[in-house]
Structure 1
Amino acid sequence: MAYLSEQKRSFFSNDYTCFKTYPLDLNAARRLELRPFELANYDVFAFDFDGTLADTNATKYRAVYCAALSVTEDESVASRFAKKFIFQSGISREAKITAEFDEAVAKQVLAKYNSNLEVMLSEVVLDDDALRLIEKISEREMTALIVTGGDVKEVEQILERNQCADLFHGVFGPPLNKVQHFRNLLKSGLTAVYFGDSPYDAEACIETGVDFCFVEQFSHVDYGQIDKPSYSINKFGDILCQLL
């Protein structure tokens, strides 16, 4: 992966292998095929949280790696699962953990992961440009909400600590998955766009007909690994100017 920048290749510490694999010039060429972002086309702006509004993927990798290691006592098993866990970003932790371990072990891994996150997420801050964009959306009486595969209470606590909870019309997460949330949203007849960072985010949007905007800044993958996004941006500042 010599064509990747040092920043991308060292995206995660320790043994984490970044999933970004496409040459930057190929990503740029593919982006030229996309239409310009049009804010006026949408009634609802929905946001993923982990890896999109906040740079939490590395934190969650460490948390789940330590959780799996404490139970399995096998570094290779813990590392392999932690990488898979992050690559499946957007799917609930319960679903990912129970699919990997038997019931008794899964309960231990989940409990340890939740305990690790309670400490590790205490200093998480939201991306400045993302907050500025959402403030502008709110000022124009548009709807902003969060649809996450993570724990809703954890996200709500982070929003409260960052003093921005009132900018969102709600946080939606498990036990419903993103496809179910998107279908419920579309029943209202509103047009929606979803900002996310993972292949699963894109798949959920394709399945339901919600437009998808890939945000690469904190993502564990790059644009070339996202299936048919409606839009792609490096960071929220790329579209913030449209609301200034």
Structure 2
Amino acid sequence: MRLRQYDLIAFDWDGTLFDSTAIIVRSIQAAVRDVGGAVPSEAAASYVIGMGLMQALAHAAPDVPPELYPRLGERYRHHYLSHQHDISLFDGVLPMLASLKERHHWLVVATGKSRRGLDEALDAVELRGVFDGSRTADETAGKPSPLMLEQLMREFGVDPGRTLMIGDTTHDLQMAVNAGCDSVGVSYGAHEPAAFASLSPRFVAHSVGELSDWLKAHA
């Protein structure tokens, strides 16, 4: 049997495993509208996916004054939570994760979501026990800070050279660069894959099936 190249595989959540990009974009736009800001374009709202929530909202709505940030965050949560059960894992994600577990990889999540938001998502899609660990932006630092990955690598005693980060945004891939890890990009999420080139991912997958096949052959 081929030896593993990576012991620890870290996944971003939204746009990588969970088909939530469109709802996040619409929730950001609606929240900014609710507080009287200039509604960001779809591209501008997509760009901030992966950042910590308030960092993302501040970037997407630069004309909204800081004193309105708590209200902005509350309105985003309202709109997102009203649709969170309309979204689900991308097709093929569960078999892919099961295959990786069979090969005894440690699987973790490194996400810009809040701890509460991630735990609710994991409960909703019955993924408890699939992932061995996770870190969220509100308990560490938002991407592209390497802190999430650094903490996960320490927790599992894995070196950067044995760690792979998989994500759909430049923030995910830059986090991997900052942590000294390899990365794989996916093109079916929030960011255009042309932006990945300067961050040197080992592969860019255009579907979950392509990602699963690459992991079987190379992870």
TM-score bin (small chain):
0.7 to 0.9
Aligned amino acid, residue 136 of structure 1: S
CA distance in 2, matches of 1:61, 1:39: 40
The answer as to whether partners of 2:134 and 2:152 remain within 8 angstroms in 1 is no
The answer on 1:222 being equivalent to 2:192 is yes
1:95 corresponds to which letter in structure 2?
A: Q
Question: What does residue range 127-206 of structure 1 map to in structure 2 within 5 Å?
Answer: 127-175=90-138, 176-177=140-141, 178=143, 179-187=146-154, 188-190=157-159, 191-206=162-177
- For 2:192, the aligned partner's letter is D
Cα distance in 1, alignment partners of residues 68 and 194 from structure 2: 36
Task: Classify the secondary structure of the residue corresponding to 1:91.
Answer: coil
How far apart are residue 239 of structure 1 and its match?
4.2
- In 1, Cα distance between equivalents of 2:69 and 2:58: 5
Gaps of 5+ in 2: none
Q: How far is the alpha carbon of 1:169 from its aligned partner? A: 1.1
Given the alignment of the two structures, is residue 61 of structure 1 paired with residue 25 of structure 2, yes or no? yes
Tell whether the 8 Å contact from 2:46 to 2:191 is kept in structure 1 after alignment: no
Pair 238,97 (structure 1): closer, same or farther in 2 beyond 3 Å: closer
Q: Indicate the RMSD between aligned Cα atoms, in angstroms.
A: 2.2
Structure 1 stretches of at least 4 aligned residues deviating more than 4 Å after TM superposition = 241-244
| 222-231 or 49-58: bigger deviation | 222-231
- Conserved in 1, the CA contact under 8 Å of 2:29 and 2:45? no
Question: What is the TM-score with the length of structure 2 in the denominator?
Answer: 0.83
Contact persistence 2:133–2:152 (CA under 8 A):
no
Q: Quote the Cα distance in structure 1 between the aligned partners of 2:207 and 2:3.
A: 16
Taking every aligned residue pair, what percent have the same amino acid on both sides?
A: 18
Contact in 1 for aligned 2:164/2:181 (Cα 8 Å): yes
Taking the aligned partners of 2:19 and 2:158, their CA distance within structure 1 comes to: 32
Count of paired positions: 202
Following the alignment from structure 1 to structure 2, what is the Cα–Cα distance between the partners of residues 39 and 234? 26
C-alpha separation between the residues in 1 aligned to 2:191 and 2:4?
28
Q: Cα gap change, 1:107/1:232 in structure 2, threshold over 3 Å: closer, same or farther? A: same
For 2:174 and 2:211, the matched residues in 1 are separated by 23
TM-score (norm 1): 0.75
| Higher RCO (C-alpha under 8 Å, 6+ residues apart) | 1
Q: What SS does the corresponding residue of 1:55 show, helix, strand or coil? A: coil
- Rg larger in 1 or in 2? 1
**Residue of structure 2 equivalent to 1:22:** none
